[in-house]
Structure 1
Amino acid sequence: MSRSSFFFTSESVSEGHPDKVADRISDTVVDLFLSRDPYARVACETLTTTNLVVLAGEIRGEGVMNTSGAWAPGIEAEIEAAVRAAVKDIGYEQSGFHWEKFEFINRLHGQSADIAVGVDAAGNKDEGAGDQGIMFGYASNETPELMPATLQYSHNILKKLAEVRHAGDKRLEPDAKSQVTILYEDGKPVRATSIVLSTQHAPGLSSADVADIVKPYILEVLPEGFTDENTVWHINPTGIFEIGGPDGDAGVTGRKIIVDTYGGAAPHGGGAFSGKDPTKVDRSAAYACRYLAKNVVAAGLADRCTIQISYAIGVAKPQSIHVDLHGTGKIPEAVLEDKILDFIGGATPRAIREHLGLNKPIYARTTAYGHFGREPDAEGGFSWEKTDLVDQLKALA
């Protein structure tokens, strides 16, 4: 039996964290290529360190790179310009990492023919999964976003501070991390017992100065009464934090997968999202699992829902589905396991892409403050956060 009263903690990292800089660059490349070819194949990894950005991985697409591995005219310069613009947008104009001055190395190459033959549709063969693996989706009714409260509030803190920084507060710099610990009673979040924030800052500020700046903004994004005199605060607990971002620590694509998903409140299959086109089920099927789990909770069929789907590389049909309603279900899990994939065309890679409209340049916006718990936008971003299956799911009850 699961415990009903406990403490739980999740962390988030800002858009200027070195790993998130790498994620942003990788998905900027994905967006660029999808804008040229909606069916481009992209697996782009990024390394960032002191005044250096390196791209590696495999690609294919019309207007990008042909099957012989030759770049389309002008695309290499366009890639570099897009990468520099992304870093500029984050806000890095520091001596150790400057959007205009870092060395740029592009080592992207053509997609492996062995992978392509398994993924491509041909004859009677449907498009196969871009890799084997297990993908999870989760939803909980503990926040309006149907996300774990610990992670949602951690994201909200850093998103607010980024808004303040972009609005012109030069005392705050791009690199930051947050962490929220919450006491749950009867399975519901009741108060924050600990809040940790480390943020890069302008020279000359003390930890007390930084605390005075950020604490009002943190309180603004937390529910009223969620902190009290017993809440423990740690603001820049190591003291000075002037050297940050890729200059302070190397960044690599895909190292913040728990931040990207559910903050440890749900399982993770292990695959990263950023840098991958939607044929890669690490990304698209994880989005589909979240979509289904969120709709189950939004339909009132459970307070919490975890969904797992598995795939074999090159095979279209999922190998398995597992639904866990954590003892809160109003419907047997077996009913959902039998029916729910039908709502998204059987959850083949092609069906997921088409149902959620994933062949669009919508991915750079996902790389900070979570891939989930976001609002669907007019350009098709965060389509997996829609709750348009609610009526169909209610009909199963």
Structure 2
Amino acid sequence: MNTALQSSFCSQSKNYLFTSESVSEGHPDKMADQISDRILDAFLALDPKARVACETVLADQFVMVAGEFKTANPAVFETIRAHAETIVRQTIRDIGYTSKADGIDPDRCEVRIAFNRQSVHINQGVDQAGGEIGAGDQGLMFGYACDETPEFMPLAISLAHQLVRKQSELRKSRALPWLRPDAKSQVSVRYRDGKPVAVEKIVLSTQHAPMISTEALRATVRQEIVDAVIPAELRSSPFEVLINPTGRFEVGGPNGDTGLTGRKIIVDTYGGSCPHGGGAFSGKDSSKVDRSAAYMARFIAKNIVAAGLATKCLVQLAYAIGVMEPVSVMVDTYGTGKCPDGDLEVLVREYFKLTPQGIIATFNLERPIYAQTSVYGHFGRTDVELPWEKTLPCLVGGIQ
């Protein structure tokens, strides 16, 4: 590409419309994530060193939980396996489903548990001498941060999460008793010169009881959810809002669609604002770098932006199974950095603990904290305390 054409392309690419989505806790995929992470937390509560890889699938009135596990005491494995069905049913109740009519019956649905023990060939490269551990698998993970919101998250995904959280709040408080647990949101943000300037379009689809008319639902959801979440000063002119655009949405949850652990990885992260390595988070213990290294990459990126060293930052970490140190570290500040990206990469390796054991120690990850991450995103949260969201006041002095 010649220089003039390249310059023109870069200039145009700074003005664009970008869209992110979120889903509620009653979405079948998110139900699967919540069940898998509650199983993980149950193992960690009894054995902080447990190795867990738990998957859940939901379809109509059927739930299957499967996975491979390793515990120091075999009795822990048997205890959780025996208790897993109770965890599944209670999770469904907590989400808000009460019967087949509204999505799934927590008391009468079929629950199948298929637990296996972790392969010794996988474990041989993970648990190593001296208490160190190697990466639980190969893979590449990305972390991202930007200055678009106080939480250093992209604006579109931040607002998308807020919309479905508001839907859940109004449903659980019974302020809008006809709302049901399944919902999806989508937010389109206009960028000029690479900065968000306005919200142009909103899509919000929510499951509902038969009693509410489509017209009444749209008017109430617009007023109580969309107008309550999207600040007037952020709305473009015109500002387009689509609420239940296909009309009725009475059939939801697993009765309306299947659910599977790890199928909402973009909702879990940055709404598509940066690359994703492909690995899911939920149901995995912290020896799996798909999860723990993604948390460290976010921690690094957020602290670089919070320290004023860049306005936007992408961090990639990559690992080989059984190997402690990352095989690569990459920092990209998209030209906004106060020092060269190569210098940041060198300093990141020195400043942050990037081995699996170092990450686990930094965030104290061998404890049951994961169920709270399984809905509304793993990053930028202000409603729960997540150790990888902390900022380091000393970082500026250490990096400059």
* Partner AA of 2:345 in structure 1: E
| Cα shift readout 1:365-390 (whole Å, capped 9, x = no counterpart) | 1111110011384xxx41100012x4
Query: Normalising by the residue count of structure 2, what TM-score does the alignment of the two structures yield?
Result: 0.93
Number of matched pairs: 386
Q: Does the 8 Å CA contact 2:303/2:395 hold for their aligned counterparts?
A: no
Residues of 1 paired with 2:96 and 2:220: CA distance? 19
* Partner AA of 2:169 in structure 1: E
Aligned to 2:372: 365
SS in 2 for 1:283: helix
Q: For residues 337 and 229 of structure 1, do their structure 2 counterparts lie closer, same or farther at Cα, with a shift above 3 Å needed? A: closer
More helix by share: 2
Aligned to 1:180: 187
* Partner AA of 1:386 in structure 2: K
Percent sequence identity over matched residues? 50
* Partner AA of 2:201 in structure 1: S
* Partner AA of 1:395 in structure 2: G
Residues of 1 paired with 2:98 and 2:161: CA distance? 24
* Partner AA of 2:228 in structure 1: E
1:354 to 357, 361, 364: 361
1:109 to 110, 116, 119: 116
* Partner AA of 2:39 in structure 1: V
Aligned to 2:90: 85
| Cα shift readout 1:29-69 (whole Å, capped 9, x = no counterpart) | 00000000111000000000111110111011145x46xxx
Identify which range, 312-321 or 87-96, moves more after superposition: 87-96
Residues of 1 paired with 2:99 and 2:311: CA distance? 46
Residues 159-238 of structure 1 mapped to structure 2, 5 A cutoff: 159-168=165-174, 169-216=176-223, 217-238=225-246
Q: Does the 8 Å CA contact 1:197/1:235 hold for their aligned counterparts?
A: yes
Residues of 2 paired with 1:266 and 1:195: CA distance? 21
Aligned to 2:388: 384
Write out the 4+ residue segments of structure 1 that deviate beyond 6 Å after TM superposition. Answer: none
Q: CA deviation at 1:71?
A: 4.1
Q: Is 2:134 the partner of 1:131?
A: no
Q: Is 2:4 the partner of 1:4?
A: no
Unaligned 5+ segments in structure 1 are none
* Partner AA of 1:17 in structure 2: H
Q: CA deviation at 1:213?
A: 2.0
* Partner AA of 1:392 in structure 2: L
RMSD: 1.6
Query: Normalising by the residue count of structure 1, what TM-score does the alignment of the two structures yield?
Result: 0.94
* Partner AA of 2:69 in structure 1: I
Q: CA deviation at 1:228?
A: 4.5
Unaligned 5+ segments in structure 2 are 1-9
Q: CA deviation at 1:138?
A: 0.1
Residues of 2 paired with 1:330 and 1:373: CA distance? 23
Residues of 2 paired with 1:99 and 1:341: CA distance? 48
Q: Does the 8 Å CA contact 2:81/2:115 hold for their aligned counterparts?
A: no
Residues 1-397 of structure 1 mapped to structure 2, 5 A cutoff: 1=10, 3-63=13-73, 65=74, 71-72=77-78, 74-95=79-100, 96-122=103-129, 126-168=132-174, 169-216=176-223, 217-345=225-353, 347-375=354-382, 377=384, 381-388=385-392, 390-397=393-400
* Partner AA of 1:77 in structure 2: A
Q: Does the 8 Å CA contact 2:147/2:311 hold for their aligned counterparts?
A: yes
Q: Does the 8 Å CA contact 1:206/1:239 hold for their aligned counterparts?
A: no
SS in 2 for 1:370: coil
Residues of 2 paired with 1:207 and 1:103: CA distance? 33
Q: Does the 8 Å CA contact 1:376/1:386 hold for their aligned counterparts?
A: no
Q: CA deviation at 1:285?
A: 0.1
| Cα shift readout 1:106-157 (whole Å, capped 9, x = no counterpart) | 001100111010111126x831000001000000100111001011100010
| Cα shift readout 1:72-107 (whole Å, capped 9, x = no counterpart) | 3x4333222122111111001121411122111000
Q: Does the 8 Å CA contact 2:44/2:368 hold for their aligned counterparts?
A: yes
